[in-house]
A and B are shown apart, each in its own frame.
Chain A
């Protein structure tokens, strides 16, 4: 065996890759069989791949990388060495634009509307992950809550799919378990953020998520119910951590929602409204003759209105005791004043004030 055999193998391989004549190596007895083996390896038939739309991808990349240039053009050329740092400065804007561009192109459109279990769903998570990385620290908590609410909405869709027979109980359990794990990541991060940014609103938002999960768990069964109970427990732990952090910072958590065993509440946009039920995402409440309405009436309730619902759980069902209209999107600038809602939660979509 030649001493520099390792280099020879490399040399022959390189020659084969460059379509050069390798017959000279074959004349060497010791090398001949290796040349044959390498030739067989080199001529393995390659599988065809679906033709990519490279031009579309190129335009997408160029759009992404040239967008901040219009805002920071003079600095780019003089400080090219610190380009990555400069991009981080404008990261909030760029992150938003990046997601918007992604939204308008190809698979990303489907991804952002996808639900767990779909092939394209991981792209939604990638988009969220990028958005989170590019968002300034001060705004990260709001984003974590937005993602947590996305997860709760997705849970509702998965439960609905299972009830409609589109997916099996086993599939639903697996998807719900994954989504619950993601939800936990967001709520933990939000609770953790209170150590450096003690904001009391974090507690109310976590309480709101707890309520939604609690009601969703009432309307589910089997393993899915177990997973939702787990999520509920985790969210409560995060809430306790947030309260502890805020109190350690010397801030009193006033109007803190007290979780009474039978009391539930939810805040947000109405996703369902009928004569017998109202829903905010996964939180579905039954309407009774005792339900009271503040700033609205039973027949005026419509999907899209921002409401507070407080209620109770009886016989494994959730009932709406009081429905308070906060904002009706159809009436421009119509933000109603809460009357007697000292214990109700703030609207879900409201950013947390610094």
Chain B
């Protein structure tokens, strides 16, 4: 889907067209599903959270004023739904811990097919700060754009670039020592 087409569908969806919203769903559903699945590790639950994410997006569709922000916004709604899911599952777990749990359910990387260098990268990755690890994981393990990561992590796109830059420098330094 081109940017112009997406913009067109967004405008129509904002005027109340479920069909146009259906095209938006077709375009983003698989990416959002993968994002949710890695956090909950369960197909049916991920499908239900995906459904709630797009239903909420429809209800709030007029909050979005630029088509290029749509993707990140959908990730943000999905992330909030995942947190709600964990809150309801473990009501007493503090939010910070919930966010850690988000990363643990299923790995986005197929660890059985790594080359030697990639295995080393994964080993040293744990020595990075939490934020740096998150950025690397979102960017390279799950192919999110900087803008999408910015929405998910609640930071500016500039901050994500800086984090990514520092993470790469640190990774290179750690790999050199190893």
Chain A residue contacts of B54, Cβ below 8 A = 57, 61
Q: Can you offer 27 A-B residue contacts whose CB atoms are under 8 A?
A: A6-B161, A40-B115, A40-B117, A41-B140, A45-B113, A46-B110, A47-B106, A47-B107, A47-B108, A49-B34, A52-B29, A56-B47, A80-B16, A80-B62, A81-B62, A83-B59, A83-B61, A83-B62, A106-B44, A106-B47, A106-B48, A107-B44, A108-B48, A119-B45, A123-B48, A126-B48, A129-B84
Chain B residue contacts of A87, Cβ below 8 A = 59
Task: Name B92's closest neighbour in chain A (CB-CB).
Answer: A181
| Contact call A178/B91, Cβ cutoff below 8 A | yes
Nearest-CB distance from A133 to chain B (Å)?
Answer: 11
For this complex, into which size category does the number of interface residues on chain B fall? Answer: 35 or more
Q: Does B88 contact A (CB under 8 A)?
A: yes
Contact of A84 among B45, B62, B108 (CB under 8 A): B62
**Which A residues are within 8 Å of any B CB, using their own CB?**
5-7, 9-10, 13, 17, 33-34, 37-38, 40-50, 52-54, 56-58, 60-62, 64-66, 69, 76-77, 80-81, 83-84, 87, 98, 106-108, 119-123, 125-126, 129-130, 178, 181-182
Nearest-CB distance from A104 to chain B (Å)?
Answer: 13
Q: Does B64 contact A (CB under 8 A)?
A: no
Chain B residue contacts of A9, Cβ below 8 A = 161, 164-165, 168
Q: Does B101 contact A (CB under 8 A)?
A: no
Task: Name A76's closest neighbour in chain B (CB-CB).
Answer: B16
Please, how many angstroms separate the alpha-carbon atoms of A2 and B106 in the complex? 38
Please, how many angstroms separate the alpha-carbon atoms of A7 and B47 in the complex? 37
Q: Does B155 contact A (CB under 8 A)?
A: no
| Contact call A34/B47, Cβ cutoff below 8 A | no
Q: Does B37 contact A (CB under 8 A)?
A: yes
